[in-house]
Amino acid sequence: MVILELQKKIDNNLKDGKYKDDAKKEVFYKILSYFLNKYGEDRLLKVAFQKRFNTFNKYNRNQHQFSSLSFRTQSRIKHTIVNKTKIKE
């Protein structure tokens, strides 16, 4: 089981104080360890893949069809962003 090995590694690193320098990492790994312990590998993977699948469906449902290679946008900028320069010889 990859997750159990991962959980053991996280627990050992927490005990050894590897994440003492970064408090956010320490909190993240404590929470991760807690949920691995509580729910197990199968349930967490199922939730992760379901979220991934739903995200793909959300963005692929209404695909934008590009009619040309140029684009227009509304902007508060009144002057041109890119100016043409004439090369003087």
Q: Using an 8 Å Cβ cutoff, are 35 and 6 in contact?
A: no
pLDDT (mean) for 37-55: 89
- Give a yes or no: residue 80 inside a domain: no
pTM: 0.52
Measured from the Cβ of residue 69, the count of other Cβ atoms closer than 10 Å reads 5
Q: How far apart are CA 86 and CA 64, in angstroms?
A: 37
Instruction: Give the structural domain span for 29.
Output: 1-39
When mean pLDDT is compared across 19-23, 36-40, 85-89, the lowest value belongs to 85-89
Domain count of the fold of the chain: 1
Instruction: Give the end-to-end CA distance of the chain in Å, rounded to a whole number.
Output: 71
- Give a yes or no: residue 77 inside a domain: no
Q: How far apart are CA 8 and CA 48, in angstroms?
A: 21
